[in-house]
Amino acid sequence: MVPIPYWLTVLAWTSLLLAGISFIYIALDVTKHPQKMKIMTIVWPLTALFGSFIWVLAYKKWGENHSSEKMKMDGSMNMGSSNKSMAVSVFIGTCHCGAGCSLADLIIEWLLYFFPVLYVVGGYPAIFSHKLFSGFVLAFIFALIIGVSFQYFAIVPMKHLSRKEGIIAAIKADTLSLSCWQIGMYATVALCQLSLFPHFFGGEVLPTTPVFWLMMQVAMLVGFCIAYPMNWWLIKTGIKEKM
């Protein structure tokens, strides 16, 4: 492989550092000021891993829960989802979906790196001639499991559902959203790993390099943009709850 340019490595490290600081900031704040919807305590920090300081601003504006302080100041509490615009509710709903995808892909990439035999489980080489697509299969399955779990813990308290009803509702609410996210993310990763990186660097970039995770950050942002319209439709039709 051709050495990765120094400027790109610096850019990647800078992006990862900002994301790490953003993650820590939000994680500390949600610990001090727990979210009314408990699952969002996990969602907001995870989304900072790809959204960085932009997601910190979003959290400060739409997610920060200082309701107790607000009540002391003016005796009111306006923290309900009904006070949020449709665009903001869809943004938060898409973040909820993306957090599960982010966590799943983070775990799967390292599992595949340290235990490459897992590619066989994803269909390599019996179904796919390239390990990348086998990894996509494993990541999708894992993301679906985590995403549905996240959705379950969000939707059950809101609708007061039984366990069975909650699982069914979570699957209906998250499958299409997650699929759109993963399609956008996979397309970006495939473009980089199968075309751009081989052309410029002579081969794929490994998870041990900061450039790989910069690529994943960009891929997640693309996934967010692709999943946003689907979340709008899901919320508008009542399949997914406003958050």
For the chain, give me the number of helices (H) and strands (E)? 8, 0
Structure letter (DSSP) for residue 123: T
Rounded distance between C-alpha atoms, residue 31 and residue 21, angstroms? 15
Q: What is the mean pLDDT of residues 4-29?
A: 96
* Structure confidence by residue, pLDDT tens digits, 56-114: 999 999 988 765 444 344 433 344 455 789 999 999 999 988 898 899 999 999 999 99
pLDDT for the residue numbered 234: 92
**Segment 79-88, tens digit of pLDDT:** 445 578 999 9
Q: What is the pLDDT of residue 72?
A: 43
pLDDT above 50: residue 165: yes
pLDDT tier for residue 230 given thresholds of 50, 70 and 90 = very high
Q: What is the mean pLDDT of the chain?
A: 89
Q: Is the pLDDT of residue 15 over 60?
A: yes
Instruction: Determine phi and psi for 84, rounding to 5 degrees.
Output: -90, 145
Cα separation of the two ends of the chain? 46
Residue 132 above 60 pLDDT? yes
Task: Look at residue 241 in the predicted model and tell me its pLDDT.
Answer: 80
CA 38 remoteness from chain centre: 17
What confidence score (pLDDT) does residue 79 get?
Answer: 40
Question: Greater confidence, 2 or 162?
Answer: 162
Question: What percentage of residues in the chain have a pLDDT greater than 90?
Answer: 70
Mean pLDDT of 180-201: 96
